[in-house]
Chains A and B, each alone.
Chain A
């Protein structure tokens, strides 16, 4: 049978994939996707833990909130990427090094 551990492992794998994508991808869109994956890993955890809260379904509710937030965040992120593209004519994070002095 499928236990909580299975969920957590899947979640960890998802998190790691997301993290990897976020750190290594040369495309800001892919970085955003990596963030989404991380958020999804977190949401999966919420849902998995939600099984133990049968009274309020706190996990599910949190998951819903997180999904909404992720959607909003991605919207904002896309807007930022569009603006970055307009300014730098690239969306490769490696080339955008304005944080460096």
Chain B
């Protein structure tokens, strides 16, 4: 143990980040020779252990550590790379490891036999590396690099089955939408740098950071920076209206969806906003809260009518991320981080469970040579008899998602709801709409997740064949799920199942709330919400299992929800078509105007050159040639004089003499 304690947490954190990267490199070098995933698995195992023992245990609730190394200098500004370890970053790092590990184990069984499995492990390690690096970056520039890497790795993973057209479109969409957000992030970084002259998180937001010592007179710039960072987070964390990539990203393998949704990519936005939280002024916070609640509400609505099991979960993620955004917007980013952590476990579990179901359905499809969508919940039903373990785990995760007491989701969701109510009460006015909407979303969450569970696991099997082949997944898949199931319960986070204030994760952050605590709310909201959720479940039960309230599938509300409010079509018509038309216009302009001018200029230049060539050839050269020719002629004329004959010379001499004499005589 002594040896372990002597390792500096900073070094250990770097090792944690480096291990998946090394695994990525080895995996890339070995290529198809390594398909078992052992390398990636060992790397993530070691990372998890090191992260827990040497980093988390050392730093959590203790002194923050950091290390900085100059990287390059431009002018007087030196850019650095560094590691920052505080409660927020070590928690995030541990969370990523702890989520990534079960996903890795699960993937071994889930992805078995895939022809591109060697690529899968490579990408997965790269993704883990990028995410782990992102969370311990000390400065924003380094963070941005990892941020981009995360985007790139997700691009690779979403388009993993690249022979499928829809997967290719999905990864392109994810990448492009994320690029839009990255631009915002970059603008934020640039603005912060121009105002404070530093990108170092400690230098900016530390106890004696420039953020507090340098009084900025330009609040407009700060708002711009805050909005920039928020746009970055909006794209990564799939906030309305940049959320469109996330449902499409379901084209990737389910294990990947699980990882992306639980702790890594979409969490990055929340993590970023928590890291730079002091930067946000009231305007930006209000925008964040509004966007967050819009996202939560719209995604919950879209989730109601989806038939693809993974898409329901995807919209659920978006909705929950909206919750976290609201928490940040009201200033309770500790609640956001808490929800992020609890959500990671149960959402990861939900995806893995969905993956297990899809796996079995796909096998059924394969065995019977049938053509049906294995992800469509309308084809399932009554699976609890065939997959009891999966059912129990999924049920736990669903209860957690709905915020049922005794689960972790209860604690964190209440934390957000109560904080937002308290905030709204202190603000007064129309701000009460935000927590009220959130409450409705919360109830809707219970409904749509209830719908998923009831449709998949209760009632009768919908397809006209026997579901007897369907069974629980093997241990490699079940064990990680069981682990996540345990982590979805309250005692992992707090020994008090009622009050979120006792949660360990919550106590790691020190947030000054701008609002007063209202004690009655702490009692009213949990009880009210639980009752409302139960009521929704009863309705859902009657609706989907008993078949009451038959519903017109063609109704406008359902179609609107199923098509995600036609947002994709809207984007296709306006932005995509607009861009294509603009490009066409530009192409025409380039082709006809620019090229035309250039061609005209070329023709003109050619004409001028021809004239110049003629002048050169006939006038300049002609003059010189004439001169040369004349000289040559005269030279030729005089050549016969110098013939080497003495007598001729004498004759000339006398002739000249004679001429001279005659001249003298004549004058």
Contacts and interface: CB of A to CB of B under 8 A. Distances in A.
A23 B647 contact: yes
Contact of B644 (A24, A31, A100): A100
A97 B647 contact: no
Nearest to A96: B646
Contacts of B646: 93, 96, 99
B383 to A, nearest CB: 116
A24 B649 CA distance: 12
Contact of A31 (B642, B647, B648): B647
A100 B643 contact: yes
B664 interface: no
Contacts of B648: 23
A98 B654 contact: no
Given A93-B646, A100-B645, 18 more contacts: A19-B654, A22-B650, A23-B647, A23-B648, A23-B651, A23-B654, A24-B647, A93-B645, A93-B647, A94-B645, A94-B647, A97-B643, A97-B645, A98-B644, A99-B646, A99-B649, A100-B642, A101-B644
B659 to A, nearest CB: 15
Contacts of B649: 99
A8 to B, nearest CB: 15
A29 B645 CA distance: 16
A59 B649 CA distance: 31
21 contacts: A19-B654, A22-B650, A23-B647, A23-B648, A23-B650, A23-B651, A24-B647, A31-B647, A93-B645, A93-B647, A94-B645, A94-B647, A96-B646, A97-B643, A97-B644, A97-B645, A98-B644, A99-B644, A100-B643, A100-B644, A100-B645
Interface of B: 642-651, 654
Nearest to B651: A23
A94 B648 CA distance: 9
Interface string A23-41: 1100000010000000000
Nearest to A95: B645
A80 to B, nearest CB: 12
Nearest to B652: A23
A94 to B, nearest CB: 6
Contacts of A96: 646
Contacts of B644: 97-101
Contacts, number: 30
Nearest to A98: B644
Interface size class of A (residues with CB under 8 A): 10 to 19
A97 B648 CA distance: 11
Nearest to A94: B645
A101 B639 CA distance: 11
Contacts of B647: 22-24, 31, 93-94
Contacts of B643: 97, 100
Contacts of A94: 645, 647
Interface string A77-98: 0000000000000000110111
A93 B646 CA distance: 7
Nearest to B649: A99
Contacts of A93: 645-647
Nearest 4 interchain pairs by C-beta: A100-B644, A97-B644, A99-B644, A23-B651
A95 to B, nearest CB: 9
Contacts of A31: 647
Contacts of B645: 93-94, 97, 99-100
B665 to A, nearest CB: 14
A97 B643 CA distance: 7
B312 to A, nearest CB: 108
Nearest to B650: A23
Contacts of A23: 647-648, 650-651, 654
Nearest to B642: A100
A101 to B, nearest CB: 8
Interface in A42-101: 93-94, 96-101
A96 to B, nearest CB: 8
A94 B654 CA distance: 18
For B647, B648, B651, which residue has the most chain A Cβ atoms within 10 angstroms?
A: B647
Contacts of B642: 100-101
For B643, B646, B648, B650, which residue has the most chain A Cβ atoms within 10 angstroms?
A: B646
A12 B266 CA distance: 128
A99 B648 CA distance: 12
B660 to A, nearest CB: 15
B638 to A, nearest CB: 14
A79 to B, nearest CB: 17
A94 B651 CA distance: 13
A100 B642 CA distance: 7
B654 to A, nearest CB: 6
A97 B165 CA distance: 98
A22 B648 CA distance: 10
A30 B321 CA distance: 130
Nearest to A26: B647
A99 B651 CA distance: 15
A22 B654 CA distance: 11
A98 B654 CA distance: 22
B635 to A, nearest CB: 14
Contacts of B654: 19, 23
Contacts of A101: 642, 644
For A23, A96, A98, which residue has the most chain B Cβ atoms within 10 angstroms?
A: A23
Nearest to B658: A19
Nearest to A99: B644
A22 B649 CA distance: 11
B647 to A, nearest CB: 5
